[in-house]
């Protein structure tokens, strides 16, 4: 393991913010510590940072928290080592399906809560394993190999250049639903895997996914459909009767547009001189569509959660993760492509978060606000994890890379 390169000196724009990003990162980590579940892994936190006893331990939360603590460990916080251990122990133990392979979506007691295997959760296992590996955890290499193997064998579809979404527990029945959300986080995971292992296969697959998704978005004037059937035909009315679904909302998910923009630029960084020209343009188009169609569209500041395909707001609540991803995307656009507008928007999004989202009384960020920017809980109850907020906070402090793990450490062989 090579010692990580030091983080770059903070940009003048960071110094101009009326906010100490290192202090904010530490505040988020302090809140996240309370997620440690007595049975192993990390649980769901309420508004006050207390474990919600009614909720199981979920793989996606455990993975995201493990990733955050591993990155913090790499950045010099030795106090989180036991939390990285806790996450890896859960992912190699109670959350893993020892009988059929892969990971349960959630467990309580000694058994799974559901009978499905989700690409979304498996992508985060890869992400957590990669971050824990570069942080030096002794079991992370085996975990990463296992997770990449399951992703490759069960979810990746070579003919489509995409991943499928949901299998049953023993891998005998595949749900016909296909979705963009799981593929987005698969790109994130594959970029981290490439940074960690140096294996070109993972970069090539991330490139294929991004290329296909960008093509779909471009063909819909950058209104990205999220839901498809088994033949990858868009299902534009999917969940029209449940528009505020946490993971599969109806219509255009504004936050995913900015998240795809950032990932496109991370991919561009990974590809270096061989990066196709369309990546930068697609990032700008996706981000621009999100800002134009999602910001303050009902008269109050904040990004709406979703719109329909004629740009009318559907779910007007403001989710913290959307602002966090807008902050991260604006910074990445500013850093990689230049331009005063992106820097101004980075500062504007941070000002909004500082004004409305940062909960300095009870900790972390409010996960949801009403259309008038008051704390609400119609889609998200409590403060489940720190992943989006933590990444947005530390990204401007890191050097350019394909992933957070790559930004804080030299890829290991």
Q: Which has the closest alpha carbon to 384: 119, 70, 41?
A: 41
Q: What is the pLDDT of residue 11?
A: 67
pTM over 0.85: yes
* % of the chain surpassing 90 pLDDT: 93
Instruction: Kindly give the parts of the chain with pLDDT less than 50.
Output: 1-7, 9, 410-413
CATH of domain 12-408: 1.50.10.10
Catalytic (active site) residue 256: yes
Q: What is the pLDDT of residue 387?
A: 98
- The one-character DSSP state at 6 is P
Distance CA 50, CA 61 (A): 15
CB 370 within 8 A of CB 317: yes
Q: What is the pLDDT of residue 19?
A: 87
Catalytic (active site) residue 245: no
DSSP string, 88-124: HHHHHTTTB-TTTSSB-SEEETTEESSSEEEHHHHHH
Q: What is the pLDDT of residue 16?
A: 73
Q: What is the pLDDT of residue 13?
A: 73
Q: Strands, DSSP E only, in 29-152?
A: 57-58, 106-108, 111-112, 116-118
**Of 256, 334, 366, 367, which one is the catalytic site residue?**
256
C-alpha 40, offset from chain centre: 22
Q: What is the pLDDT of residue 249?
A: 98
Domain ranges of the chain: 12-408
């Amino acid at each position: 393991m090579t010692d990580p390169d030091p983080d770059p000196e903070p940009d003048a724009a960071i110094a101009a913010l009326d906010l100490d990003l290192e202090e904010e990162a530490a505040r988020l980590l302090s809140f996240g510590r309370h997620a440690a579940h007595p049975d192993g892994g990390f649980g769901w936190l309420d508004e006050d940072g207390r474990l919600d006893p009614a909720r199981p331990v979920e793989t996606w939360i455990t993975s995201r928290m493990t990733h955050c603590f591993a990155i913090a460990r790499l950045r010099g916080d030795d106090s989180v080592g036991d939390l990285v251990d806790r996450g890896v122990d859960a992912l190699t133990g109670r959350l893993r399906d020892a009988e059929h392979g892969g990971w349960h979506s959630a467990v309580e007691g000694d058994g799974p809560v559901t009978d499905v295997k989700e690409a979304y959760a498996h992508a985060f296992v890869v992400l957590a394993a990669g971050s824990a590996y570069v942080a030096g955890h002794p079991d992370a290499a085996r975990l990463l190999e296992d997770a990449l193997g399951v992703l490759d064998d069960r979810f990746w579809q070579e003919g489509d250049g995409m991943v499928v979404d949901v299998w049953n527990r023993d891998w005998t029945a595949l749900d016909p639903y296909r979705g963009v959300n799981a593929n987005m986080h698969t790109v994130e995971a594959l970029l981290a895997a490439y940074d960690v292992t140096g294996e070109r296969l993972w970069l090539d697959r991330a490139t294929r996914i991004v290329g296909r998704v960008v093509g779909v978005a471009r063909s819909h004037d950058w209104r990205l459909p999220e839901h498809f059937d088994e033949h990858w035909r868009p299902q534009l009315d999917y969940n029209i009767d449940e528009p505020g679904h946490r993971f599969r909302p109806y219509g255009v998910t504004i936050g995913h547009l900015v998240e795809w923009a950032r990932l496109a630029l991370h991919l561009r960084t990974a590809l270096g001189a061989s990066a196709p020209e369309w990546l930068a343009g697609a990032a700008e188009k996706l981000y621009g569509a999100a800002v134009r169609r999602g910001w303050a569209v009902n008269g109050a500041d904040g990004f709406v959660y979703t719109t329909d395909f004629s740009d009318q707001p559907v779910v007007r609540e403001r989710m913290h993760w959307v602002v966090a991803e807008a902050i991260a995307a604006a910074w990445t656009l500013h850093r990689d492509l230049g331009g005063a507008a992106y820097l101004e928007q980075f500062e504007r999004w941070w000002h909004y978060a500082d004004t409305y989202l940062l909960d300095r009384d009870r900790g972390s960020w409010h996960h949801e606000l009403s259309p008038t920017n008051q704390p609400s809980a119609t889609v998200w109850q409590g403060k489940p994890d720190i992943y989006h907020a933590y990444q947005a906070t530390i990204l401007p402090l890191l050097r350019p890379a394909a992933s957070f793990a790559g930004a804080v450490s030299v890829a290991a062989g």
